[in-house]
Amino acid sequence: MAEFTAFDHAMMRRALALAERGLYTTTPNPRVGCVVTSGERVVGEGWHEKAGLPHAEALALRDIDAADATVYVTMEPCAHQGRTPPCVDLLLSRRVGRVVAAMRDPNREAAGGADRLSAAGVRFEHGLLEEEARELNIGFVSRMTRARPWVRLKVAATLDGGTALSDGKSQWITGAEARRDGHRWRARACAILTGGGTVLTDDPQLTVRDVATPRQPLRVVVDSRLETPPGARILPALVFSARAGKLPGAEVVVLPNPHGKVDLPAMLAELARRGINELHVEGGFRLNGSLVREGCVDEFLLYLNPSFLGGHEKGGALGMLDLPQPASLDARLRLRVLSLERLGDDLRLVARPAKG
């Protein structure tokens, strides 16, 4: 493992900050930033903004003398011809002396840059702030290595776990600041998913409105019986159903499981095939439970309001997840908390299923 200096760390942090500028725009590509230095002087910077536009390395190397320079990049330079030329060719032609990558490229088609650089005599090192780089591209890594998006399930609830009244009404459990934060998470996703029941009850738009964004995520509905009304505000959308049919304003994909519901793992595979890196879920009690039961949820985004909804007896308020009661306390679903933050009167909890 290479030993990195304080200057190396500072430059990679800068590259990560640049990469984050593409948080809302790079899909289906990864978020990548690049810094070029000569000695301890920054001579070039760049970040990838959008698929089809120049990669971070190309922008950072533009109009500079890069001979013997050090290039800090948040992901291994690509070695394949896509919509843009291979970045490794550019680095070699500019005679850089050293390349430091935070992480290797998980895309097998694009990988190989490290080997080509090393073979040409360019010093290649990686692993500097790797965890931060992977977190920034957690959806891209998931799609490349698991052939499915990173699934983030968002729930707004009271302290006793209530998410809606018995009639399904849930607007609004949390305050304005928490709802605005939820739109930030929507904006970074490639697609937003909800269930047919939520469409019928709330008629949501599922658009990003409370924060500035240059594009809207794809809207997706799980609707086993294909009951989404033609005038639903969520349309146009991609609709997964267990039943064949047509719905104006929707592309209907039929993926039934043996129980007459939508095959959720197959749905994730199809979304990955369409280039979806991060899937943001805002569903209801039943869809949430189905996704968790079938192992489809990677992360929980929980907004907790300091109030009690009550009525959890049969026919009362709805909870977060439709899950069967475990046989013992030890068998319950455990989470690992990543962060806890106060937003106005609400708390935002980010957690992932605990391993082991």
For 330, list phi and psi in degrees, rounded to 5: -65, -20
Least confident among 4-18, 159-173, 199-213: 159-173
Cα(278)–Cα(280) distance, integer angstroms: 6
**Predicted pLDDT of residue 312:** 63
**Predicted pLDDT of residue 168:** 65
pLDDT digits (tens, 9 = 90+) for 286-320: 999 999 999 999 999 999 999 988 766 655 677 88
Tell me which H or E stretch contains 19: helix 6-19
Query: Both tokens of residue 65?
Result: 């003398």
Q: Is residue 75 within 8 Å of 137, Cβ to Cβ?
A: yes
Q: Which CATH superfamily is domain 6-136 in?
A: Cytidine Deaminase, domain 2 (3.40.140.10)
pLDDT digits (tens, 9 = 90+) for 222-269: 999 999 999 999 999 999 999 999 999 999 999 999 999 999 999 999
**Predicted pLDDT of residue 316:** 62
Instruction: Give domain limits for the chain.
Output: 6-136, 140-353
pLDDT digits (tens, 9 = 90+) for 28-44: 999 999 999 999 999 99
CA 81 to chain centre: 25
**Predicted pLDDT of residue 164:** 75
**Predicted pLDDT of residue 315:** 58
336 pLDDT band, cuts 50/70/90, is very high
Residue 82 has pLDDT above 80, yes or no: no
**Predicted pLDDT of residue 21:** 97
Give strand pairing partners of 342.
Answer: 347
Residues across the chain: 356
Name which of 125, 101, 80 is nearest 16 in CA terms: 101
End-to-end CA distance of the chain: 28
Q: What's the average model confidence in pLDDT over 327-354?
A: 94
> Is the pLDDT higher at 85 or at 17?
17
Cα(119)–Cα(139) distance, integer angstroms: 31
**Predicted pLDDT of residue 322:** 87
Residue 119 has pLDDT above 80, yes or no: yes
Query: Both tokens of residue 39?
Result: 């000695």
Q: What's the average model confidence in pLDDT over 137-164?
A: 94
| Residue from 57, 76, 278, 282 carrying the catalytic annotation | 57
Strands 150-158 and 278-281: parallel
Q: Is 79 helix (H, G, I), strand (E, B) or coil?
A: coil
**Predicted pLDDT of residue 85:** 85
Residue 167 has pLDDT above 80, yes or no: no
Residue 193 has pLDDT above 70, yes or no: yes
Name which of 14, 132, 140, 27 is nearest 71 in CA terms: 14
The pTM of the full predicted model, rounded to 2 decimals, is: 0.94
Cα(256)–Cα(72) distance, integer angstroms: 47
Percent of the chain at pLDDT > 70 equals 96
Cα(9)–Cα(90) distance, integer angstroms: 24
> Is the pLDDT higher at 310 or at 167?
310
Domain 140-353 fold is Dihydrofolate Reductase, subunit A (3.40.430)
Q: Is 57 a catalytic residue?
A: yes
Name which of 140, 150, 156 is nearest 31 in CA terms: 140
Q: Is 290 helix (H, G, I), strand (E, B) or coil?
A: helix
125 pLDDT band, cuts 50/70/90, is very high
Give strand pairing partners of 341.
Answer: 348
- Number of neighbours of residue 120 by Cβ within 10 angstroms: 12
Query: Both tokens of residue 141?
Result: 């890594």
Q: Side chain identity at 289, as an amino acid letter?
A: G
Residue 16 has pLDDT above 70, yes or no: yes
Q: Which residue has the tokens 């290595």?
A: 145
Q: Is residue 7 within 8 Å of 103, Cβ to Cβ?
A: no
